[in-house]
Amino acid sequence: MTGIPATAAEAPRSVRRAVIFDLDGVIVDSFAVMEEAFAIAYKEVVGEGQAPFEEYRRHQGRYFPDIMRIMGLPLEMEAPFVRESYRLAHQVPVFEGITELLATLRSRRFKLAVATGKSGPRARSLLEQLGLLHFFDHVIGSDEVAHPKPAPDIVVRALELLELPAEEAIMIGDAPTDIASAHGAGVASVAALWADVDDEDALLGALPGAVLYRPDELLALCPPVPRG
């Protein structure tokens, strides 16, 4: 199935000039590393037993402390989780086609940003280690806004930094929280389904403006920005 815009309402007449990306599940396939870090943090702080990673994944896109509160787990899990995430970062793969997509968007004069559930320092560190940081004008983490996803704050902040109105940007994510954040900011939304999405029905139920199955399909929504 080819990804196509789901509604005409999210195809504004204004020229599209920027793409705001979620990180995990869109740019990088971090779930195996995330699961290992979560299991280690759970064992250190909670103790023996099966770490409830599948439940954790259902809250993807949210800030880690918020997920802990929702799940009723100790906030003390954050420190070992972050420590292990840094330690294992070299094992995180970039999705096939993403590097080429970013390069093409840059050649088309697009501004690019990341708006992630991770903290800003950890997201920037990972992207730098993977050789992708230079593609992005800004990388915003959930610790750098007042209210993380699903609130619109992080997308609004990206627009402020990019110095663009909402109608000239598009947000792409793999979780309902990403779509909700985009909708709240008045930005066109895209669901990315090239990752192992935990709950595809919930993602589609968030009513993204387009559904894509490969990174390169985004290019159809992002024609070259006119010069001048």
Q: Give the sign of the dihedral formed by CA 44, CA 49, CA 50, CA 56.
A: negative
Coil/strand/helix, residue 198: coil
Please state whether beta strands 169-173 and 138-141 pair in parallel, antiparallel, or not at all (unpaired). Answer: unpaired
For residue 183, CA distances in Å to 63, 87, 133, 150, 209 come to 18, 35, 26, 9, 10
Q: Return d(Cα 133, Cα 123) in angstroms, integer.
A: 9
CA-based nearest residue to 146, from 82, 66, 71: 66
Catalytic residues: 22
Four-residue CA torsion sign, 165, 167, 168, 173: positive
228 contacts: CB under 8 Å, gap ≥ 6? none
Which tokens hold the place of 185?
A: 């900011």
